[in-house]
Amino acid sequence: MTNEEKNLQRDSQLPEVRRQLLDRIRQDLEQDSDVLAIYLAGSLAKGNADSYSDIDLHTVVKPEKLEGFIADKFGRAGKWGNVLFFEGIAASPVIVSHYDCFVKVDSWYHTADDLKPSIWMKGMKILYDPHSILEPIRQLSEEAVYKITPAEVEFWRTKMLAFIHETYRAARRGEPYYALANLDSVRWLTAYGWYMEMGRHLDSPYQVWSKIEGSRSRLTEDQLERLASWEAGRHPSSILTALESISTEFTRLNKTMSERVGMDDNSEIVSRALALVL
């Protein structure tokens, strides 16, 4: 059996391995009197997980015990399975644990006061809530409706212009890796703009490509094809050609979304900014 075949065989078993790991996590945390509640976020909570989905674990603890949980977060994660390596710094309430079974756990420690109903909490899955801390938050979050705001459009517009300029600078400077990284940000922001135009909340962190492609994407085939067409080679002309093509869609999106939220599209400033590099 080749290494690829071994990996694919392992991958087919990941959902069951992940379930067993989550069972061990719950058994440990639910027996701790300082743990007040536990919930899942992400694809496991929303029911659209695949073999490679991680465990987005949120643990609510007593306020006076939070510091201790953070201090012991590496040791705690080590009790759940064989950790290959960690991501995270000691002072942060977040730790990412990579287990040798190829399952990843993103774990957050909170106090009850940290949690507020929001669009980001929509779809949360409660695992343990003996004090009814989470259920009211879950109910209110389910009622949340995503709606673009002038502030979000302004943030998106200025970020697009900033990354377009930085892509140009890097390309002309002879730094193609940096230029392509910035071009990738421009492409991601365009996809984010499409989600805003559809009135859909993009349920992934800023500039993370998760859920942009694949079965969880809400983009059309045409939009996905356009994203792919905006890939570029290392030569400045290839990079600038991609930028010019994206800029046409950026201009359209800026006008459409500005009208939708009732704000000035700043078309003159946008045109001047684009003309500096294209």
Contact 240, 278 (CB under 8 A): yes
Q: Quick one: average pLDDT of 160-172? A: 98
Domain co-membership, 40 together with 133: yes
Domain co-membership, 170 together with 253: yes
How far apart CA 131 and CA 216 sit, in angstroms, is 34
Domain count, the chain: 2
Domain co-membership, 57 together with 80: yes
Q: Which of 126, 143, 160 is the last residue of a domain?
A: 143
Instruction: Name residue 156's beta-bridge partners.
Output: none
Tens digit of pLDDT for each residue in 1-53?
899 999 999 999 999 999 999 999 999 999 999 999 999 999 999 998 999 99
Q: Which of 109, 143, 177 is the last residue of a domain?
A: 143
Q: Which CATH number does the domain housing residue 37 bear?
A: 3.30.460.10
* Burial of residue 101 (number of CB atoms within 10 Å: 0-12, 13-18, 19+): middle
Domain co-membership, 52 together with 78: yes
- The runs of H, that is alpha helices, within the chain are 3-12, 14-30, 42-46, 66-71, 73-78, 134-142, 150-173, 176-198, 221-229, 236-261, 267-275
Domain co-membership, 248 together with 173: yes
171 closest CA partner among 276, 103, 243: 243
Domain co-membership, 264 together with 155: yes
Domain that holds residue 111: 3-143
Q: Which CATH number does the domain housing residue 165 bear?
A: 1.20.120
How far apart CA 239 and CA 177 sit, in angstroms, is 11
DSSP 162: H
How far apart CA 5 and CA 11 sit, in angstroms, is 10
What is the pLDDT, as a whole number, of residue 1? Answer: 86
Tens digit of pLDDT for each residue in 61-105?
999 999 999 999 999 999 999 999 999 899 999 999 999 999 999
Strands 35-41 and 125-128: antiparallel
Domain co-membership, 25 together with 136: yes
Q: Which of 120, 143, 166 is the last residue of a domain?
A: 143
- Residue 23 tokens read as 């069972």
Q: What is the pTM of this model?
A: 0.89
115 closest CA partner among 106, 105, 124: 124
Domain co-membership, 210 together with 254: yes
